[in-house]
Structure 1
Amino acid sequence: MRKRVAILGSTGSIGTQALEVVAANPDRFEVVALAAGGSNPRLLAEQAIAFDVPLVAVARGSAAEDVQLALYAEAQRRGYAHGDHRVPRLVVGPDAATEVARTPCDVVLNGMTGAVGLLPTLAALETGVTLALANKESLIIGGELVTGAASPGQLVPVDSEHSALAQAMRGERAGDVRKLIVTASGGPFRGRTRAELADVTPEQAMAHPTWDMGPVITINSATLVNKGLEVIEAHLLFDIGFDRIEVVVHPPSIVHSMVEFVDGATMVQASPPDMKLPIALGLAWPERVPDAAAGCDWTRPATWEFFPLDDEAFPAVSLARKAGTFGRTGPAVFNAANEVCVDAFVGGHLGFLGIVETVGAVLEEHLSDPDAARQEMTLDGVLSADTWARERATELVERR
């Protein structure tokens, strides 16, 4: 029986690759719903008609008409007049992705970017379906709200690093794990000193040496904020203390992460850098999809290099540990301030080093607030902290 899949963020990097996995395995998967922001109505329409999707959601109300027209145009091109293709039902608005997350299906793939993925993540978990999670921000800011809503085995990580950790720990006892080692490519500025990063441009930050990702994640990889978020994510997914989660720089991105066990053995998950492998595993979990991606070519000589993380040049990981150790709304503030700062950097209103500096200032202000230390985790509290952090980060950016 085919698994019914709903894809959130279908026009982004994760969503488009997920649809390629589906297209290559029509006997295993069918797409029952798509959700996107609305910035690329033509692509969304092409996806919906090509996969004969009955439900499409778009977040931006201003994009609704463009999406509807694109749907009719694409259906007409593919033979709608002859009854060969149907035009899907369209839902519009900020809650549209959450509605898609509740649609009857077997797997929800959350490939959205940013904190906006939190409510759809919670909605999917409430339905009891498998949640293939690429939207790390929703887990990080939701914390125990998300982990508490998930049944055992319901939450499947799609980030390549956490997929690697999940694979390495299959069949192992949690008590036998000594530490998790999360690998980082080092981004486009590996080896540079902090002083050499002062004049970095958005174009340079977008030139990732290994992965082809969306703009926000790519810039987060350049600052290593992304790796900081992944440390928090690993803590929440596997219930491992921050003192037992390490980051090591591995430029080839062949080893996606490692698990060291108490007897000294280290389990490594290795494959060429291709997100289709963890995406396919997330959709089919716990099964594997044959030929989802190419394996390593062992007939050619290869060297796997590992380097320690330069915390002085890239302090984002240490800052994320601080937010994660504090817990509560600390990670939400860290993430929200970063999203504002990344937008400011792309818009030319903030320097590269100013991203993490501003995030750090906002986080310190939050952690020093006695009320933050006493606050219980609630959805309203998380959303309130997210809003405050965005406003405060905006204020600090404007001052700079």
Structure 2
Amino acid sequence: MKRIAILGSTGSIGTQTLDIVAHAPEQFQIEALSGGYNSQLLIEQIHKFHPKVVSVATKELAEKVSSQVSSATKVLYGQEGLLEVAASTDADFVVTAVVGSQGLKPTMAAIEAGKHIGLANKETLVSAGHIVTDAARRRGVALLPIDSEHSAIFQCLNGENRKQIAQITLTASGGSFRDRSRADLEGVTVEQALQHPNWSMGAKITIDSATMVNKGLEVIEAHWLFGLSYDQINVLIHPESVIHSYVEFVDNSVIAQLGNPDMRVPIQYALTYPDRYPTPTKKLDLAAIGKLHFREMDFERFPCLRMAFESGKQGGTTPTVYNAANEIAVARFLNGEITFLQIEQIIETVLQKHDSIPTPSLDAIHEQDLWSRDCAASIQF
């Protein structure tokens, strides 16, 4: 039985992970959960899965949770609680599904504690890829991707010689506005941006899909996960989200991974790797789908993806700043402070002001992350 801790159990990836666990209770034991501010859902999860340790965002929420669950569950809060869920339980596998750069410290703590990682927090590798991958190698820890695109590449590479890769292609749905021109994006609303055509995801990642920042973060993450140069990473719009990504080898052979757009498949593969088991998901029916479509990526239409490639190639603290500026810009858009197109303007402005540090320490990464957030929050239109 695999013992699991989940960072971000009340979010989209966390709840789908627990769905997988509930589907195969003989295979998995939930040791610990962190639930941020969603205390009510966390209480329901505690009653169902009986974790030994849980963590919430604040002391007040911890007191609320403690009053409604068994004393057998230890209730913590804040950064200290998140770190204990990540690193100080009997879990041997940690799913990192918290949103944004807050996932870096607990993921590093889990790696240093020798826990294998199911990585759904792409910002961890974006911000500190060189540090995280070095730590995982040193501790003998597996970084198993949960993002559907990276899981697809990981599966395509099983048994293959990575030196014989010509390039990989990450597919992108195109997001909520994939069929709109830039002129059509003037005045789009938050509600419109949150209507993703294929995937059920949280608000932040849905906006990132519409701007193509999410694909940009995946490009940087793929660079670190698979040890590829940015010239070996391609992005293609694939509206149906059936081919999740593919690998082209030096002999021009292409291996792709296909499936319905359901995150429970890559989540379960990370949990059970190298084995496969039945999932509570719908079988792919290509005859019913009939046709699959593809479009070349347009970097003028999606400048945030262009900036991601540029940030990754520059390296150092530039990807950290790219990610942090985007997090603030998306929050400002969701709060109604800025327009949709001003998200990319904020990111570009912050990047132009940034002086990159080539090989940053964790402290330097943290400092540049804070600087980027302050800069992004101060930009007025």
TM-score (norm 2): 0.96
- Who is 2:377 aligned against? 394
Q: Report what 1:229 is aligned to.
A: 217
Give distance in 2, aligned partners of 1:142 and 1:294.
36
Q: Which amino acid aligns with 1:117?
A: G
Partner of 1:150, secondary structure, is: helix
**Other structure's SS at 1:300 match:** helix
**1-side partners of 2:47 and 2:288: how far apart?**
42
Q: Which runs of 4+ in 1 moved over 4 A?
A: none
Correspondence 1:17-28 to 2 at 5 A: 17-28=16-27
Residues 269-290 of structure 1: CA deviation (Å, up to 9, x unaligned): 0000000001111111222222
Distance, in Å, in 2 between the alignment partners of 1:292 and 1:157 is 20
Q: Could you tell me how far 1:298 is from its partner in structure 2? A: 4.2
Who is 1:219 aligned against? 207
Where 1:293 maps in the other structure, the secondary structure is coil
Native 8 Å contact 2:216 2:309 kept in 1: yes
Are 1:378 and 2:361 matched, yes or no?
yes
The 1-side partners of 2:311 and 2:292 are apart by 31
**Counterpart residue number, 2:259:** 271
| Aligned twin of 2:51 | 53
1:292, 1:237 → 2: CA distance? Answer: 28
Counterpart for residue 122 of structure 1: 108
Q: What SS does the corresponding residue of 2:176 show, helix, strand or coil?
A: helix
Q: 1:180 aligns with which of 168, 181, 184?
A: 168
Does 1:357 find its partner at 2:365?
no
- State the secondary structure of the residue aligned to 1:124: helix
Q: Percent identity of the aligned residues?
A: 44
Instruction: Give, in angstroms, the shift of residue 331 of structure 1.
Output: 0.8
Among candidates 24, 40, 43, match of residue 42 of structure 1: 40
Q: Please say if residues 111 and 141 of structure 2, whose CA atoms lie closer than 8 Å, have aligned partners that are also in contact.
A: no
Q: Distance in 2 between matches of 1:245 and 1:298?
A: 27
2:165–2:249 CA contact under 8 A, matched in 1: yes
CA contact 1:36–1:97 (8 Å) conserved in 2:
no
- 98 and 223 in structure 1: CA distance in 2 versus 1, 3 angstrom threshold: same
Aligned to 2:83: 98
Cα distance in 2 for residues equivalent to 1:253 and 1:99: 36
Q: Conserved in 2, the CA contact under 8 Å of 1:109 and 1:133?
A: yes
Query: Distance between the aligned counterparts of 2:172 and 2:110, measured in 1?
Result: 29
Shift of 1:294: 2.7
2:300 equivalent to 1:312 = yes
Q: Give, in angstroms, the shift of residue 153 of structure 1.
A: 6.1
1:90-130 alpha-carbon deviations (Å, 9 max, x no partner): 01122211111112212100011000000011011112221
Q: Does structure 1 conserve the Cα–Cα contact (< 8 Å) formed by 2:33 and 2:53?
A: yes
What per-residue deviation string (whole Å, max 9, x for no partner) do you get for residues 147-199 of structure 1?
A: 11113661000000000000000100011100010000001111211111121
2:324 to 336, 347, 351: 336
- Aligned-pair CA distance for 1:219: 0.5
Residues 140, 233 of structure 1: 8 Å contact kept: yes
Aligned to 2:290, the other structure's residue is in SS state coil
Q: Does residue 64 of the first structure (1) align with residue 83 of the second (2)?
A: no
Letter in 2 for 1:28: Q
Task: Kindly indicate whether residue 311 of structure 2 is the aligned counterpart of residue 323 of structure 1.
Answer: yes
Once the two structures are TM-superposed, the CA of residue 63 in structure 1 deviates from its matched residue by 1.9
1:83 corresponding residue in structure 2? none
Q: Where does the alignment leave 5 or more consecutive residues of structure 1 unmatched?
A: 76-85
Q: Is the 8 A contact 2:115 2:141 kept in 1?
A: no
How do residues 234-253 of structure 1 correspond to structure 2 at under 5 angstroms?
A: 234-253=222-241
Q: For 1:23-46, what per-residue CA distance to the aligned partner results, in whole angstroms no more than 9, with x for missing partners? A: 0001110101001212x2111011
1:128–1:154 contact (8 Å) kept in structure 2: no
Q: What are the Cα deviations for residues 13-60 of structure 1, in whole angstroms up to 9, with x where unaligned?
A: 00001001000001110101001212x211101101211111111122
Q: Is the 8 A contact 2:34 2:56 kept in 1?
A: yes
- Is 2:182 aligned against 1:198? no
CA change 1:341–1:62 in 2 (3 A) is: farther
Q: 1:235 to 1:292 in 2, by over 3 A?
A: farther
**Could you tell me which amino acid in structure 1 is paired with residue 8 of structure 2?**
G
Gaps of 5+ in 2: none
Equivalent residue letter for 2:53: L
Secondary structure of 2:144 counterpart: strand
- Secondary structure of the residue aligned to 1:246 is strand
How many pairs does the alignment contain? 378
Is contact 1:49-1:87 (8 Å) kept?
no
**DSSP 3-state at the match of 1:356:** helix
Q: Which residue of 1 aligns with 2:7?
A: 8
Q: Which amino acid aligns with 1:392?
A: C
Distance 1:202 1:301 in 2: 30
CA contact (8 A) 1:121 1:138 kept: yes
Cα pair 1:192 1:313 within 8 Å, conserved: no
Matched residues in 2 for 1:61 and 1:237: separation? Answer: 36
- Provide the residue aligned with 1:82 in structure 2: none
Report if aligned partners of 1:340, 1:393 keep a CA contact under 8 Å in 2.
yes
Residues 252-275 of structure 1 deviation map (CA, whole Å, 9 limit, x = unaligned): 101100000000011010000000
